[in-house]
Amino acid sequence: MIAKKKVMELIDERMAELDAGLFVVVLKISSNNIINVEIDKEDGNVSINDCMSVSRNVEHNLDREEQDFELHVSSAGLDKPLRVLKQFVKNIGRDVTVKLNNKTIETGELIQADDEGLTIRQEKRVKIEGTKKKEDIVEEKYFPMSEIKETKIVISFK
């Protein structure tokens, strides 16, 4: 099996050369040497050229004669959950859906994230007791990472 450490070194080497704020979200190597790499960028989006460059550096520095492998390098994608802290930080200010371990789902603007947890801001329209009027309220909710099952960006076409 191909060493994960060696692949990570090759990825890090190319990302340092590109100096574009790229980081690894996922690196998986299966028992039959299928290497899956997902990358993201601190500012902006990952380009096809970013993926190709990382892929080429890994491809050219591993010996297929020694061990055959299959390599897939892709961007993390909007449809996938946020998995590393840099992704949470990058997406501060965007709306997210947070699925908790207790099956509760909360949606709001991501306003803070660190290793311990994240905070979202929710705007709600609530009825004032004793009247027919409704009032807008803003509420901030904190969730420890240990209670979060999954956090995804809300995709909007507004």
Residue range(s) of every CATH 2.30.30.100 domain in the chain: 85-153
Residue 54 has pLDDT above 90, yes or no: yes
> Which pLDDT score, from 0 to 100, does residue 131 have?
80
> Which pLDDT score, from 0 to 100, does residue 81 have?
96
pLDDT digits (tens, 9 = 90+) for 133-143: 888 899 999 99
Residue range(s) of every CATH 3.30.300.20 domain in the chain: 4-75
Closest CA to 33 of 76, 62, 75, 74: 62
Is-contact 37 24, C-beta < 8 A?
yes
**Confidence at 119, pLDDT banded by 50, 70, 90:** very high
> Which pLDDT score, from 0 to 100, does residue 134 have?
85
Q: Which CATH number fits domain 4-75: 3.10.20.880, 3.30.300.20, 3.40.50.300, 3.40.50.2000?
A: 3.30.300.20
Rg (CA), the chain: 20
pLDDT digits (tens, 9 = 90+) for 59-111: 999 998 889 999 999 999 888 999 999 999 999 999 999 999 999 999 999 99
CATH topology of domain 85-153: SH3 type barrels. (2.30.30)
**Confidence at 1, pLDDT banded by 50, 70, 90:** confident
SS3 state at 48: helix
21 vs 158: which has the higher pLDDT = 21
Q: How many CA atoms lie within 13 A of 95 on its CB side?
A: 10
